[in-house]
Amino acid sequence: MKRFLPSSLRGRLLVLLLVAMLPSLALLAHAAWRARAGAEREAEARALAVVRQGAAAHARLVEAARARAAALARAPELRAADPAAAAELLDRTVHGEDAFLDAGFADAAGRVLARHVPGGAGEVGEAAWFDRALGSDAPVLSRLESPAEGGPPTLVAAARVAAANGDPAGVAWVRFRLDWLAAAAAGVERMPGGVAMVMDARGMLLAAIPDARGWTGRDARSARLVETVRARREGVAHLAGLDGVRRVHAFAPLGDAGGRETYLIAGFLEDETLAAAQRTFVRSLVLLALFGVALTLVAWHGAAIVVLRPVGRMLAAARAVAVGDLRVRAGPPYSRSELGELARAFDDMSDALRRRRLERDVAETALRDLSARRAAVVEGSPDGIVTLDADGRILEINSSAERMFGWPRSRALGRDFLEVMVPPELREASRRTFRAVVAGGDAPWLGRPAETRARRVDGAEFPVEFAMTRIELERGGPLFSLYVRDITHRRQVEQALRSLSLVDDLTGLYNRRGFLAFGQQQLRVADRTGRELTVVFADLNGLKEINDRFGHAEGDRAIVEAAGALRATFRRSDVIGRLGGDEFAALALETSPSTVARLELRLAERIAALNRVAERPWTLAMSIGRARYDPQHPCSMEELIARADEAMYRRKRDRRAALSHRGA
């Protein structure tokens, strides 16, 4: 006999049958649970009623005692400090009141002047309630006290007695016992294992009914029941009592007594109270188990006859298909049942698998041919092609990229492409942009060509044009194809073409060639006319740092803004040019020293205005130097520019020296 597995077909059929019967079986369990829950709620309600009735009776008794003490404090017999009249009044106060045990009057020093109970203490000044009553305008309560002879705890309600002049004449008090506790205990004792307790906030048990174990006076602050009562103050809890027996406990606060909160606790045995509901619950569980066993036996034998035999035939056919024999059949014949339809579908599947195997063989052959052609195209490409993963590691590199960067394929694979190809000063910015692209962002070079500097294995840098495409895979993260082209030759050709031009492509100003040509022409005119000229040399500060930190696009923006500031400052008749890189020059015609000073001030104001309104991460700044052309002492344009350049550097040195002197 084969070993039974829960995951087998027979096991799953049994589970399905049991699941089908679960709603009706669950109703049985639910009814039993509701009966138990109803019994719990009824028992909790009874216990809460006991403690709340006790708390209400306690509140009424305390209020009556406070009123009685306040009335005594206002009585003329006590205010006059007449012991005989006071004793008569105290007797009338206590007479006929079962709850009131004693009443008395003491002077401000605590000496008892009159008392209902003869032979009592002659001094009460040591009692904590005496000092509190003497200093309070309202009646006060003492702490609960447990009588030595047993019985309910007692309280003292005390009030200050004022003399005719308003000074404290003494204290009147009434001692009363908690008679209501007997009624509360009677209600609890009618419940199985019932017990009633009075506890203060420290966890001291002031009374316990019944008290066969001598709980009264015990410090039980560490008991879980006491901790629960102190934390929640009022409510119901199912937990072990002080004797370790589990009970349903209800508790409610009795109010303040001598500065301490007191509580009434009522409890009864949980198991005996809920026994009937528990028996109903157990019967439901037994019925559930018997029904499940019977259903399992029927399903076990029925599944073997109706299901497992035809399934066994299909299983044998499936194993044959698993080893590659697609000619096997589960039928015919095919029955009209679902299993017969399953056998027919299995045979249709075998036919489809044979067709797909043939199609797969054809597709794999075509894919191998395509991969070979693609590898030939990639390897034969004059451009470098590098494949990267989402972390920027090199997964593949073609031979053109190997030659371009000088990295052998064996050493390049697995390395960070930024360390292999990018100059150190550009790596951090490139890394941030690449991470943004991996996260789904855009970049100027994603799907579009861009230009930058690259780095060979020997550290040499060269200009490249590059672009990147994103490849989404069905599994795993995206891949990226990086296409790189060495444009060193193209840059050389462009530089040669620019050297023939007179205008700077970026700014639209004259380039160095144009500035020298037109400037030299103006010098010849000045030689004939005798007029003076001034060359202003301007250097764009921090251009290299802007390029390194924010990219060449921001560097070009700084150059264009500097050119615009010069164009807006000088006149249309003046000659303005970009000498190269971060160097500019302007040839101001027919200028006096004051005119040139105004031009420099206007340029500084123009730059400051740009810095205020422009939204960019850098600040535009320029250093200025000037040199005047004297027709009486002619020189070349190159010499005049050199003198202005030297003047600019002298200004820089003087400014640094002044700053250093002030800092010292």
Residue 53 has pLDDT above 70, yes or no: yes
Would you say the pTM of this structure is higher than 0.75?
no
The closest of 164, 157, 169 to 108, measured between CA atoms, is 169
Over range 510-538, report the average pLDDT: 92
pLDDT of residue 257: 60
295-317 b/e (C-beta count within 10 Å ≥ 16 → b): beeebeeebeeebbebbeebeeb
Q: Which of 223-232, 429-438, 568-577 has the lowest mean pLDDT?
A: 223-232
| Continuous H helices in 327-337 | none
Alpha-carbon gap, residue 131 to 110, rounded angstroms: 9
The answer to whether residues 435 and 486 belong to one domain is: yes
Encode pLDDT of 338-351 as tens digits: 666 777 777 778 77
Alpha-carbon gap, residue 552 to 266, rounded angstroms: 84
pLDDT of residue 94: 83
End-to-end CA, the chain: 102
Q: Is 182 part of any domain?
A: no
The answer to whether residues 392 and 484 belong to one domain is: yes
pLDDT of residue 386: 92
3-class DSSP state for residue 147? coil
Per the structure, the count of domains in the chain is 2
Taken in order 114, 117, 118, 122, the sign of the CA dihedral is negative
Domain boundary (463, 493, 523) is at 493
Encode pLDDT of 358-386 as tens digits: 777 777 776 676 666 666 667 768 888 99
Alpha carbon 577 to chain centroid, angstroms: 58
As given in the structure block, the two tokens for residue 493 are 């050709």
Confidence of residue 179 (pLDDT cuts 50, 70, 90): confident
List CB contacts of 268: < 8 A, sequence separation 6 or more.
43, 47, 188, 191, 192, 193, 194, 195, 247, 248
Residue 498 has pLDDT above 80, yes or no: no
Residue 1 has pLDDT above 50, yes or no: no
User: How far lies 249's CA from each of 34, 40, 59, 228, in Å?
Assistant: 21, 11, 21, 10
The answer to whether residues 400 and 432 belong to one domain is: yes
The answer to whether residues 473 and 415 belong to one domain is: yes
Domain boundary (461, 493, 525) is at 493
Q: Which of 79-93, 311-325, 563-577, 647-661 has the lowest mean pLDDT?
A: 311-325
pLDDT of residue 637: 94
**8 Å CB contact between 254 and 262:** yes
Q: State phi, psi for 521 to the nearest 5 degrees.
A: -65, -40
Encode pLDDT of 619-655 as tens digits: 999 999 999 998 998 999 999 999 999 999 999 898 8
CATH number, position 423: 3.30.450.20
Q: Which residues pair with 534 in a beta bridge?
A: 588, 628
The answer to whether residues 520 and 587 belong to one domain is: yes
User: What amino acid occupies position 280?
Assistant: T
Instruction: Bin 422: left if φ > 0, else alpha if -120 < ψ < 50, else beta.
Output: beta
The answer to whether residues 475 and 575 belong to one domain is: no
Share of the chain above pLDDT 70, in %: 82
Domain boundary (493, 513, 533) is at 493
The closest of 250, 275, 70 to 159, measured between CA atoms, is 70
Q: Is 52 part of any domain?
A: no
The answer to whether residues 469 and 509 belong to one domain is: no
Helix, strand, coil tally for the chain in percent (to 5):
50, 20, 25
Pick from 91-100, 179-188, 302-311 the range whose average pLDDT is largest: 91-100
| 649 vs 169, residue with greater confidence | 649
The answer to whether residues 463 and 508 belong to one domain is: no
pLDDT of residue 364: 72
Q: Is 295 part of any domain?
A: no
Q: Is 20 part of any domain?
A: no
pLDDT of residue 61: 80
**8 Å CB contact between 535 and 626:** yes
Q: Is 602 part of any domain?
A: yes
| 435 vs 125, residue with greater confidence | 435
Alpha-carbon gap, residue 411 to 413, rounded angstroms: 6
Alpha-carbon gap, residue 543 to 354, rounded angstroms: 70
Q: Is 596 part of any domain?
A: yes
**8 Å CB contact between 51 and 188:** no
The answer to whether residues 406 and 445 belong to one domain is: yes
| 226 vs 540, residue with greater confidence | 540
Identify the burial level of 270 via C-beta atoms within 10 angstroms of its C-beta, where 0-12 means exposed, 13-18 middle and 19 or more buried.
buried
Q: Is 623 part of any domain?
A: yes
pLDDT of residue 335: 65
pLDDT of residue 37: 74
CATH number, position 542: 3.30.70.270
E-state strands within 472-508: 479-486
Domain span at residue 395 reads: 381-493
Q: Is 450 part of any domain?
A: yes
Residue 289 has pLDDT above 80, yes or no: no
pLDDT of residue 101: 81
pLDDT of residue 331: 61
The answer to whether residues 578 and 529 belong to one domain is: yes
pLDDT of residue 330: 67
Encode pLDDT of 474-485 as tens digits: 777 788 888 999
Specify the DSSP element, H or E, that contains 89.
helix 83-94
The answer to whether residues 485 and 512 belong to one domain is: no
Alpha-carbon gap, residue 100 to 178, rounded angstroms: 9
The answer to whether residues 463 and 507 belong to one domain is: no
Q: Which of 4-8, 122-126, 340-344, 566-570 has the lowest mean pLDDT?
A: 4-8
3-class DSSP state for residue 54? helix
DSSP string, 252-294: EEEEEETTEEEEEEEEEEHHHHTHHHHHHHHHHHHHHHHHHHH
Alpha-carbon gap, residue 204 to 197, rounded angstroms: 10
| Continuous H helices in 500-573 | 512-529, 543-550, 552-569
Average pLDDT of every residue of the chain: 82
Over range 308-315, report the average pLDDT: 69
